[in-house]
Structure formats: C-alpha cells, structure tokens
Structure 1
Amino acid sequence: MASEHDIIVVDDHPLFRRGVIQLLKMDPSFNVVAEAGDFEAAMVAVRERDPDIVLLDLNMKHTSGVEILTAIKTFDPSIRVIMLTVSDSPSDLLQCFQNGADGYLLKDQEPEQILEDIQKAAKGQTVLSASMNQALAECLREESFSKERRVSELTEREKSVLKLIAQGKTNKEIGKALEISDGTVKVHVKHVLHKPSFRSRVEAAVWAKEQKNL
C-alpha cells in the first residue's frame, strides 16, 4: 500500500522520537520521512522533504517549538503542524494556536489515542487533547465579545461554514453538506477565519461551540 502522508517528527529526545516513529508505523498510510531535534535540522528536513504533517514538541532544551511552528507556517501554510507536548498550560496552548498550530496533543495520552488523533489530523481535522478543551475555552472567552461583534459581519453562508467547522467537519465534508465546490469552501473558510480574526480553525470551532445564538 502506497504511503499517503509524509511525516516529520521533531523532538529533542531521541528515545521519544523513536517511540513516536514506531507508533506511526502501525498505520501503513503514514511515512516518516525525517526526524529532527532542533530548529536547524527541522527546517532543513521541512524544506527538503516537503511533509504533509509535522509532529512538533513545544519545550525543547535549545529550541522553541513555537519558533519552529512559525517558521514552518511561513514556509508553507499547508503543512499541518501538530504539537505533541507535556505542557498542559492554557497560555502555551493558546500561543500555539495563535501561531497556526493545527492540533495540540499531550504526550501522556494513551498511544492509541495519539495515533487516532494524528489520523484525524491527516484527514484535515483539527485535533486537541480532550483534557485541554476547557483550558482553550477559558482562554478564548476573554476575546468572545469582540469576536461576537465581528462574526456579525459574516454572510449567512459563512456562518453555516463556521457552524460546520465547529462540528469538526473537513473542507470536503463542508462542501458536501452545503453542495459547493472545494474551492468555494476554501474561500468561505478564509473569510470565516479572517473577518473575526480567528487565528486557526480550532479557535473558531471552540468559540462557535460557546455561542448560543450563532
């Protein structure tokens, strides 16, 4: 079976990297094309291997995970970056999503759950450890009023897209539900994120779930 998703694992602990790589081998659609333990090695791998997904540690000894995240998204915003970390700090969580992370998973999850979440991410979903949902909601609540005001600028179709994002739907699933093309979905998603200044699909989804009148 041909590999469908090229992955780079970035973590400064070689033993942990090896464990993650072994976990990924359980899914034949995953192909680990490189591993790295610092900023320079990570960016060389990203530029040379053009991955679909990067699994990225947040707090490394000589490297800032957020710095790598920002560099990856600047190089190619389509690369999905999933933070894989021990930090359950709400501020770390929010900072990662503000800088474009596509997921935030805790290392203390069961390996099977981590693999399942990475599989979801590969399909275009944004993933978040269940224990971090409340933390993210609390962080975003402070910005809720201004977001609510700006969301009122969305068209009815864009609001429909936002509701589907909140349900965890991928772009393809949104297109099917609304009977519109993938290209049109991408335009609507761009507007949904830009007008209210959402920094990621996760921020938009969590905010929308908190609203009763959307």
Structure 2
Amino acid sequence: MNNLHSHSTRIMLVDDHPMLRRGLSDLLSMEDDLLPVAQAGSGQEAVELALKHELDLILLDLNMPGMDGIETIRALRNAGVDARIVIFSVSDDHENVLEALREGADGYLLKDMEPEELIEQIRLAAQGKLALSSELTQVLAQAIRGRSSSTQAHPSMLTKREKDVLKLIAKGHSNKMIARHLDIAEGTVKVHVKRLLNKLGMRSRTEAAVWVVENELN
C-alpha cells in the first residue's frame, strides 16, 4: 500500500462546501495515481494543513469567505509552499483567471467541466504543465501577447545559474527537484527564483515559464 501511494500525486482539496470536497475526494480516490490526503474549508486552514502535509498539488476554490483563493495563493507561496496550485472555480471572469496565474497558480479549471476532463487536467498539472479549461486558453493567449509587447525583460539580464533554474521551472520542477538536479541547496534555489522573478518583473513561476517559451530559452 505504501509503495503504491509513494507514486501517487498527493492532493489537498480546498473549498468551503463540504459536499463538494467529499465528491471531489471520492472522484480522485477512484484513480490509482491520485491521492487526496487533506481537505480544508478555508484559506487559513489550507495554509496550516499545507505546512503539515507533503503535498504535490492543491485544488483551490476561488470564492471563499474570509481569505479568498487569490489571498490563499499569496499566503501559501509566502509560507514557502511549492506544491502546484490549481484554481477550481465557477467564475470564468478573465480578470480572475489572469490574476490567479499572476499570483502563482499553476492552472485554472471551471467547476462545470466533465469529471474525465478534470482528472486529465489534474494529471497535466501534476506533470508540471499548465492546467486550463479549454474555454480559457484564448484568454491566456491574449494576455501573453499583450504582455510580450510591453515587457522589457531580456535573457541577458539573467546569470547562467538563473537561466538554469528558469529552464527547470518551465519544465514544471519544484524547488526541491531543481535543487536535486543542480546539486545545490533548496534554500539557494528559492533565492535564485526570487531574484530572477524580480529581474524579469514577474510575480509567478507560471508567468516565467510562459516567458521561457516565448523567448525560446532552451
């Protein structure tokens, strides 16, 4: 049993509706490679549980009383949580989508999607890819084009080590995985990530990953 679970994607579900959390947990539990290990009913509880559990992915509601999804993303990232975060919401408002991605979300899925598609997108997110409901891909494409025309960021601004870290971020690697790959301390990776995001004028790993693709930095 433990050996099986060691290869599973460990997931926390965050939503203020208990029935929805239970339904999602039951759905994920039917998959051999997806393991729901924690549930939170608020942003504050999500941060507390994320620090207690070793998580690979957090499925996070956007509209919650108290700390909403955006504030929860900020709190999780500020607390050093580097699990992948995917917003799961009823809102397809373009500003919500873009703000979530800017703040560090690794995907944005709509609650009216088919269960099979949800499972597929969660697996994509776990692999380090951007999880996005099909209706929202055009929103992201337009945002990328708009930012590309205004950003002053250039690869020459980065050191060789920062470029190495950035390429691994674009492949979906966590700080822990990057540290192992480059044979450096995880704390050093965090410093590099903070510096390169500041240099590029970006606020999230997702935004940086998209920039790598745009600039063919490989």
Aligned 1:99-178 pairs, distance under 5 A: 99-147=103-151, 149-151=153-155, 153=157, 169-171=171-173
**Structure 1: runs of 5+ lacking an equivalent:** 173-180
Q: 8 Å contact 1:136–1:206 — kept in the other structure?
A: no
Q: Secondary structure of 1:146's match?
A: coil
In structure 1, distance between residues paired with 2:30 and 2:13: 15
Q: CA deviation at 1:149?
A: 5.0
Question: Which one-letter code corresponds to 1:24 in the other structure?
Answer: L
What is the alpha-carbon distance in structure 2 between the residues aligned to residue 39 and residue 159 of structure 1? 33
Assess, with a 3 A threshold, how the Cα gap between structure 1 residues 171 and 31 changes in structure 2: closer, same or farther: closer
How has the CA–CA distance of structure 1 residues 34 and 77 changed in structure 2, closer, same or farther, with 3 Å as cutoff?
Answer: closer
Deviation at 1:61, TM superposition (A): 3.4
The structural deviation recorded for 1:92 is 0.7
Corresponding residue of 1:93: 97
Map Cα deviations across residues 151-174 of structure 1 (whole Å, 9 max, x no partner): 4646899889989987xx4459xx
Give the whole-Å Cα distance in 2 for the aligned partners of 1:69 and 1:171. Answer: 18
Conserved in 1, the CA contact under 8 Å of 2:44 and 2:67? Answer: no
In 1, Cα distance between equivalents of 2:105 and 2:35: 21
Paired residues, number: 204
CA distance in 2, matches of 1:152, 1:134: 30
Going from structure 1 to structure 2, the CA distance change for 1:21 and 1:182 (only over 3 Å counts) comes to same
Identity of aligned residues (%): 41
Q: Does the residue aligned with 1:15 lie in a helix, a strand or coil?
A: helix
Cα distance, 1:140–1:48 mapped onto 2, change above 3 Å = same
1:171 and 1:182 in contact (8 A); partners too = no
Distance 1:109 1:207 in 2: 28
RMSD: 3.4
Which piece of structure 1 moves more, 40-49 or 95-104? Answer: 40-49
Please report the TM-score for the alignment, with normalisation by the length of structure 1. 0.75
Of 39, 44, 52 in structure 1, the residue corresponding to residue 43 of structure 2 is: 39
Question: Any idea what the Cα deviations from partners look like across 1:49-104, whole Å, max 9, x if unmatched?
Answer: 23221110001234311111111111124221111111111111111112111111
Structure 2 stretches lacking a partner, 5+ long = 175-179
Aligned partners of 2:89 and 2:111 also within 8 Å: yes
Q: What letter is aligned with 1:183?
A: L
* Contact kept? 1:11, 1:56, Cα under 8 Å: yes
Instruction: Tell me the TM-score normalised to structure 2 length.
Output: 0.74
Query: 1:44 deviation in Å?
Result: 2.4
